[in-house]
Structures are given as structure tokens and as C-alpha cells.
Amino acid sequence: MCTNYAAARRATFAKYFGVEPPTTEWPDEIYQDYLAPIVRPGAGAREAVTATFGMVPKGKLPQGKHYSTMNARAETVGEKPTYRGAWAKAQRCLIAVDAVYEPNWETGKHIRYRIGLASGEPFALAGLWRAWPGPEGEAISFTMLTVNADSHPLMRRMHKPGDEKRSVVIVRPDDYDEWLNASDPEVARSMLTLYSAERMAAEPAPKPPRAAAVIEDV
């Protein structure tokens, strides 16, 4: 599961995602309910917009309910009420990132790791989006798709011992248009696979103490 990542920078959008960046600003690091850039199908072409991280923003959760919708399991995305509508409507997106952050417990304590491509280039994750009506027009939210990573040499090292190992899905650039536009949901599901560990890189990236304290209060 991924609940924190580094968003792609504005200057990289045209080169790496084939679209101009959104006009709205976004922070470098993304957490639940933060605005972040995604790419989705537009009128005959891709379009980049900002959206809220988490399929159901906190303010939209049923009263008294508290749960995370930042990640959706590939195995059940077509069945769970939170995601099945967007999945059936092919509301798929590319989440533009520089890196994702995951907890590594190999030392016996939580150490945040930064995970990205070995090349250092920005990349795209498979996601779903949905729209919410609002007083100022359409508001968009999104979630990341995840797959089991028990067999992945890198991603299986993340999270607590005993926890199921999950990984985000890196979409290859040659597959961007098919992921966004495939009409058959099973064709899209077949693209939800693990990325080659040999083409990825990971390193410790602990949060500064003050930043950690701020995030705990969010």
C-alpha cells in the first residue's frame, strides 16, 4: 500500500506524460486528501488535472466512518462499492510521480524508503478517478491500484513482517493510451502487473522530525 509519494514536477509533464500540466499548483509530497496531478482521457486526447488523493475524501465519508481509500486492490476493484462504479465506467488515470514512499522494517523499526525508477525519471502509476459535484463545479478524487507483491524482490521488503506485501502498479509509457482507453475492463486488469525490480531503485529517506510531527496531526 502507498499513502505518501512525491508528485511529478510541472516541467516534466510534456516530455514524460505527453500533456501540458494542470494550471493548479500541488505540493511536492502527497498525502491523503492532498491535491495532486493525474492524467486522464480528455476530448480526443489526454488531459492533466489536479485531484484529491483518496477515492472518497474525508469530507465525503459517511458520518462516523473512518477508512482509507487511497489504494484499491486489483483483485476486487470491480466488486467493492467504493471503486466498482469508476471501474465499470473505465474512469482510469495515470498518477504522475517521481517516487513513492514505503515503510521498511528490516532493521526492526520503521524506516521510510524512497522507491522509484533506476533511471531517476518520473513515471506513472495506474489509478482510478471519480467526480464529485460541488458549488464551484466538478471536484475529482483518485485512488492507486495495487497488486500482491509477495514474489517481488524489492516490494516484498516493505511493510511490517507478517503483513501482506502489496505494490503500486507502474504503467509502461508504451501502455499509457491502452490503460486510459481500453473499453474491456479485463484487458485493463491484465495490465495490472508488477514492474521489473531490476529497473527500480530504493533508498532510505527518513522524514525530518518536524515534518513527521506535522503529518501525524493531519
Instruction: Evaluate if residue 63 carries a pLDDT over 70.
Output: yes
Contacts (Cβ under 8 Å, ≥6 apart) of 63: none
pLDDT value at residue 188: 96
pLDDT tier, 217 (very low <50, low <70, confident <90, very high otherwise): very low
As given in the structure block, the three cell numbers for residue 186 are 479485463
Query: What's the pTM value of the predicted model, to 2 decimals?
Result: 0.92
**Of 147, 153, 151, 189, residue with least CA distance to 166:** 147
Q: Mean pLDDT, to the nearest integer, of 77-91?
A: 96
Beta strands in the chain (DSSP E): 5-7, 29-30, 35-41, 46-53, 71-73, 92-104, 111-117, 123-132, 139-148, 166-168, 170-171, 200-204
Rounded CA separation 217/203 (Å)? 26
pLDDT value at residue 176: 98
199-212 pLDDT per residue, tens? 999 999 998 765 44
pLDDT value at residue 209: 67
pLDDT value at residue 150: 96
106-139 pLDDT per residue, tens? 999 999 999 999 999 999 999 999 999 877 778 9
Rounded CA separation 71/151 (Å)? 20
Rounded CA separation 24/179 (Å)? 25
Q: Mean pLDDT, to the nearest integer, of 79-104?
A: 97
Which of 57-71, 86-100, 124-138, 202-216 comes out lowest in average pLDDT? 202-216
Contact 158, 4 (CB under 8 A): no
Q: Mean pLDDT, to the nearest integer, of 154-164?
A: 95
Helix %, strand %, coil % for the chain, to 5? Answer: 20, 35, 45
In angstroms, the first-to-last Cα distance of the chain is 19
φ, ψ (nearest 5 deg) of residue 157: -85, -10
**Count of domains observed in the chain:** 1
8-55 pLDDT per residue, tens? 999 999 999 999 999 999 999 999 999 999 999 998 899 999 999 999
Rounded CA separation 102/159 (Å)? 7
What CATH number has the domain bearing residue 158? 3.90.1680.10
On average, the pLDDT of the chain sits at 92
102-115 pLDDT per residue, tens? 999 999 999 999 99
Instruction: Evaluate if residue 214 carries a pLDDT over 50.
Output: no
Rounded CA separation 48/122 (Å)? 15
Domain that holds residue 111: 5-216
Instruction: Evaluate if residue 7 carries a pLDDT over 80.
Output: yes
173-195 pLDDT per residue, tens? 999 999 999 999 999 999 999 99
pLDDT value at residue 159: 94
**Of 137, 111, 95, residue with least CA distance to 206:** 111
Residues comprising the chain, all counted: 218
As given in the structure block, the three cell numbers for residue 134 are 460541488
